[in-house]
Amino acid sequence: MRQRICVLGATGSIGDSTLDVVQRHPERFEVIALSAYRQMDKLSKLIQTHRPRYVAVADAAQAAAIEKQFGASGPAVSHGEQALSALARLPEVDVVVAAIVGAAGMRSTWAAARAGKRILLANKEALVSGGRFMVDTVKAGGAILLPLDSEHNAIFQCLPGDGSKTGRTLSGVRKLWLTASGGPFRTWPAERFAAITPEQAVAHPNWVMGRKISVDSATLMNKGLELIEARWLFDCMPEMLDVVVHPQSVIHSMVEYADGSFLAQLGSPDMRTPIAHALAIPERISAGVKPMDPWTLTGLTFERPDLKRFPCLQLAMQALASGHAECVALNAANEVAVEAFLERRCSFQGISQIVSDVLERVKVQPLDSLEAIEAFDAEARRIAALHFPA
């Protein structure tokens, strides 16, 4: 039987890559539902190509426009935040691809977890903010969480199986090594950082991605968020995690074993590889990826991350060591600051300053429900926004 798929965040970069892989295997996959937030023209094209039964958009006006365009033969259209969760819960859906950017995707990811879906997770912020609460919901709901993030997918591929097709253990594992490209400013002296523009920050040397994650890669906050993501995905203590800068992005991450073995996953930097892996597991399918050519690999290099020039990584490590609320605040403050940076209301270095300030000022508390997490996230955003008086 074909796998029935819902892509939340279908118009984004991960959405593109996912639908590209899906379209190569019509005998395996069927697109049931798509969500989009802003790009209605792109959504229209996706509806024509993939013929989903359901779509969700941001507001009533967008919904009316799509309904008008496609009429009775088109998909059922809904709108708003609840519509995303409703798509994630649809009984006709087996696989939910969580590809929304930011904590905005947390509630729908949580809905997929409760409904026992197979979740292909790109939306790392949902796990950073959801923390233990999210992984407990996955377990209780009988859901399966598979990583699309290239580092976590690489680690997943290198970990021992637990006897099921989709589970992994840490048996015999000493350490998980996340590789980082170092971003576009890896070799820049600190003096130049004050003048960094959004255009320079989103021009990633190895990967083509959405704007927010591109800025996160430039500040190394992305690697910090990925440490927190790994902590929950693999249920490992923070001490087991480390980051190594590997500018060529050939090795996508490594697992170190007790006997001294390191297992690594290598390949071209193309998200369709981890997506195809997670879609087809335990089989392997073509992904349209230009294969890595070992003859062209000249020198793989490794360096320590520079926490002085890239304080966001340090802040994320501290949040991970401190607790759940700190991770929620870190993520929320970063989202506000990155948006401001992209709109030229904040400098590149201002991003880490705002995150640091919010972490100092926010009153940490235990977060034992989705509502409590959302309220705390909102409070951290409110404090971050104080840096940008209207």
Helix (H) or strand (E) holding 96: strand 95-98
* Residues 62 and 68: beta-carbon distance below 8 Å: no
Contacts of 161-168 with CB under 8 Å at 24 or more apart are: 165/281, 165/282, 166/118, 166/281, 166/282, 168/234
Should residue 99 be labelled a site residue for ligand NAD when binding is judged by CB under 6 A?
yes
Cis ω for the linkage preceding 205 (within 30 of 0) = no
Should residue 270 be labelled a site residue for Mg ion when binding is judged by CB under 5 A?
no
Degrees (nearest 5) of the Cα angle 303, 201, 242?
A: 30
Nearest residue (beta carbon) to ligand NAD: 12
Q: Tell me which amino acid residue 216 is.
A: D
Listed ranges 72-80, 92-100, 132-140, 145-153: which one lies at the site for Mg ion (CB under 5 A): 145-153
Residues 73-132 that bind Mg ion (CB under 5 A): none
Should residue 213 be labelled a site residue for ligand NAD when binding is judged by CB under 6 A?
yes
The gap between the terminal CA atoms of the chain, to the nearest Å, is 54
* Residues 8 and 121: beta-carbon distance below 8 Å: no
CA distances from 149 to 50, 84, 107, 146, 233 (A): 24, 21, 19, 9, 11
- The 10 Å Cβ neighbour count of residue 287 is 22
Structure tokens at 246: 């590997």
Phi, psi of 261, rounded to the nearest 5 degrees: -70, 140
Helix (H) or strand (E) holding 252: strand 251-257
* Among ligand NAD, Mg ion, none, residue 310 binds (CB under 5-8 Å by kind): none
Tell me the number of residues near ligand NAD by CB under 6 A.
Answer: 25
Listed ranges 116-124, 301-309, 331-339, 342-350: which one lies at the site for ligand NAD (CB under 6 A): 116-124
* Among Mg ion, ligand NAD, none, residue 104 binds (CB under 5-8 Å by kind): ligand NAD
Listed ranges 42-50, 134-142, 151-159, 194-202: which one lies at the site for Mg ion (CB under 5 A): 151-159
| Closest distance to ligand NAD from the beta carbon of 221 (Å) | 10
Should residue 149 be labelled a site residue for Mg ion when binding is judged by CB under 5 A?
yes
Which one of 5, 9, 176, 251 is in contact with ligand NAD (CB under 6 A)? 9
Residues 136-175 that bind ligand NAD (CB under 6 A): 149
Should residue 43 be labelled a site residue for ligand NAD when binding is judged by CB under 6 A?
no
Say if residue 15 carries a ligand binding annotation. no
Residues 192-211 that bind ligand NAD (CB under 6 A): 207, 209-210
Residue set of the binding site for 1-deoxy-D-xylulose 5-phosphate? 124, 150-151, 181, 204, 217, 222-223, 226
**Residues in touch with ligand NAD (CB under 6 A):** 9-15, 36-38, 99-101, 104, 122-125, 149, 207, 209-210, 212-213, 271
Binding site for Mg ion (CB under 5 A): 149-151
Mark the binding-site residues, compressed into ranges. 11-14, 38, 123-125, 149-151, 181, 204, 210, 217, 222-223, 226
